[in-house]
Amino acid sequence: MENRWDDGRRFEGGLDECAYGSRLIGSDPSLVLHGGGNTSVKVPFVDITGEEIPALWVKGSGCDLASIQLAGFPPLRQHRLLDLLALRKLSDPEMMRELSAARLDPDSPQPSVESMLHAFLPYPAVQHSHADVIVTLTNLADGAAIVRKVFGDDVVVVPYVMPGFDLARAVRDLWPSQVNDQTVGMVLLNHGLFTFGSSTREAYDRHVDLITRAEDWLALNAPASVAADEPLGPVDPVTLAGLRHDVSRVAGIPLVMIRHSDRAVARFVKRPDLGSLAARGPLTPDHVIRTKRLAMVGRKVDEYAAAYAEYFADNESRGRVPLQMLDPAPRVVLDAELGMLTFGRTARDAQIAGDIYQRTIAVLERSEDFLGGYQALDAADLFDAEYWDLEQAKLRQTGKPTEFSGMVALVTGAASGIGRACAAELLARGAAVIGLDRSPEVVATFTAPGWRGLEVDVTDPAAQRAAISAGVEAFGGIDLVVAAAGIFGASQTVAELDPASWDSVMAVNVNAVANLFNESDPILRLSPAGGRVVVIASKNVPAPGRGAGAYSASKAAVTQLARVAALEWAEAGIRVNVVHPDAVFDTGLWTDELVAERAARYGLTPEEYRRRNLLKVEVTSDLVARTVAELCSDRFGATTGAQIPIDGGSERTI
């Protein structure tokens, strides 16, 4: 393992050093993934009177080590934690109440459930990770013996115990019989690695040393697998959308699905023992809340759900309070043709499941092929972790699901103007968004996990078809479609009409939308949320203007196409509505100079011209986008075939 400590860095005290070392640990995916691991330092807390109080500063629950700052470490009364550890028993609710009460700063985050363990360890600084190489050594039938072979007596070895009070007590009881002058760390079987020292730098150096020793031993005894020659190729998007539909149906909510088809996945899903490996369980118990206990092999979702219900029934009595079964849908699917598919309420959740299982694949193969076979915790222990309220609280910290969580939108013309505003609004409301535009800027228009921008000319049917397929591979399907790509074309009277200009306007404003509807049809029919389509047309449909024959005719044609689609798609539960914006001046069609020129023609100031409507309001792209999003929402669940003006009120259209 590379030691990434910057020797030239200076710190403003022990907590600053702890935060820096924590980020080094947290930013390495081979050590920690998505909020895992924890760290601490014991330095005094100075209260408002100037009194110094012995304190443990420990990572706050739910904080991410990769980005943690000083505020992410709640200070706790050290002596109070040791007093609690002297109790014979302490329930989880009691523990969390006491840990919360032990905070010296009530505005700081809730402390880690492993705070008492950190308090017990007799060292100023502690670092804890779930390093891949450590769980590779411990998730074996003879894991304890192998750990001793690799590290000798330099570490304390602790059998698996649920984190929290019970684990802290178990370590306290084992400590005297194993600790010695050479002790530099502690290995928790099926869990991870602790190192400690007089400073965070020393704890980090020891982390690097122990992990390097594990890497060297594995390199000699269990060489890493070689990836397949080629990643998996593309698959039918309708097949992917169908599987997403089935998994979402079992979950009872729409889920985003991400396809992983890289070389490591390609090799793994073609293994003859795939079914056996997928049934072994996660690397550490806390992964179960992201990946479920087992991955699903193949596509028989109902069979997986039935097996999950049986697993719940077998273990339900272990709960200390009445339990309600979580949804029985898989979060990881493995298939020889499709690769690895991961699911989540958001694109980020689905990616977290993917990141975790990518690491799992490497450990599974190494353990199975060279170390006598991978062996996770038994189902009962994993059930306790999955239904442990303190683990579920990690998920609840993300807050209430947003309006379009689990849904996937496709927006054309997404790099600018109304299309960009629609994409931004749908992202803000929780949708994953596939954005199409001919501008290369579409790729980086947004940086959210739920964004996939694709450079494509929508007038090229083959290119648009390929983009739709890529979008479905990215997020699993399409639930919402916003057809916003459009051009105005040259201003020409009927007598001046140029066939090439006419054709180019029709190609973007009508033909591309017709092709989009055709390609999206089978995917929209598989939407777990019911398809919702909005077409951006124009005020020129009910009130055309002089010199805008091609534009007006194209928008009238696409409006008629949308009405036909509303008739044909209704039986599938797909809604199609149209909005007619007018005078949206914050788009690429308008410049300040053009607005000033048009305003002068009417004897108005630019500001007056922008509000030249009955309500005297300025119509913006954001306003159009909010209306589009509302039409996609459940509040318009009984509306299809509607045409909504967004023009501030026009005498010509009224």
Q: Is-catalytic flag, 551?
A: yes
Same domain, 492 and 623: yes
pLDDT in tens, 385-404: 999 877 666 556 666 789 99
- pLDDT the model gives residue 27: 95
Same domain, 32 and 62: yes
**Averaged over 531-537, what is the pLDDT?**
98
Same domain, 611 and 495: no
Q: Identity (one letter) of the amino acid at 217?
A: W
Domain for residue 654, yes or no? no
Same domain, 486 and 512: yes
**Averaged over 602-621, what is the pLDDT?**
94
Alpha-helix runs per DSSP H in 443-591 = 461-475, 499-506, 512-524, 549-569
Share of the chain above pLDDT 90, in %: 89
Range of the domain at 75: 14-129+162-176+194-210
- pLDDT the model gives residue 397: 60
Please, what is the Cα angle at 429 between 426 and 434, to 5 degrees?
Answer: 35
Domain for residue 488, yes or no? yes
Domain for residue 146, yes or no? no
Domain for residue 258, yes or no? yes
| Overall number of domains in the chain | 4
Asked whether 51 and 101 are in contact (CB, 8 A), the reply is no
**Averaged over 371-378, what is the pLDDT?**
94
CB atoms < 10 A from the CB of 405, how many? 22
pLDDT of residue 77 exceeding 70, the answer is: yes
Same domain, 599 and 570: no
pLDDT in tens, 558-596: 999 999 999 999 999 999 999 999 999 988 778 888 889
Domain for residue 8, yes or no? no
- pLDDT the model gives residue 506: 97
Output the DSSP codes for 494-515. GGG--HHHHHHHHIIIIIHHHH
Domain boundary among 396, 422, 441: 396
| CATH code of residue 101 | 3.40.225.10
Same domain, 602 and 626: no
| CATH code of residue 474 | 3.40.50.720
| Least confident segment among 38-52, 221-235, 357-371, 526-540 | 221-235
Same domain, 541 and 590: no
The helix or strand, by DSSP H or E, that contains position 144, with its residue range, turns out to be helix 143-151
State both tokens at 532. 């919702």
- pLDDT the model gives residue 589: 72
Catalytic, out of 123, 551, 602, 609:
551
State both tokens at 222. 């269990």
- pLDDT the model gives residue 549: 93
Domain for residue 81, yes or no? yes
Same domain, 368 and 465: no
**Averaged over 92-102, what is the pLDDT?**
94
Domain for residue 543, yes or no? yes
pLDDT of residue 545 exceeding 90, the answer is: no
How many Cα atoms within 13 Å fall on the side-chain side of residue 434?
27
- Tokens 């479905």 sit on residue: 472
Q: Identity (one letter) of the amino acid at 348?
A: R
**Averaged over 181-195, what is the pLDDT?**
96
Asked whether 36 and 286 are in contact (CB, 8 A), the reply is yes
Domain for residue 167, yes or no? yes
Domain boundary among 373, 396, 419: 396
| Least confident segment among 160-174, 298-312, 395-409, 509-523 | 395-409
Spatial distance between the Cα atoms of 562 and 12, rounded to a whole number of angstroms:
63
Same domain, 325 and 336: yes
The helix or strand, by DSSP H or E, that contains position 533, with its residue range, turns out to be strand 532-536
Same domain, 512 and 601: no
Alpha-helix runs per DSSP H in 75-129 = 78-85, 92-101, 115-120
- pLDDT the model gives residue 632: 98
pLDDT in tens, 625-642: 999 999 999 999 999 999
Same domain, 614 and 631: no
pLDDT in tens, 480-520: 999 999 998 888 889 999 999 999 999 999 999 999 999 99
Same domain, 272 and 306: yes
DSSP, collapsed to helix, strand or coil, labels residue 28 as: coil
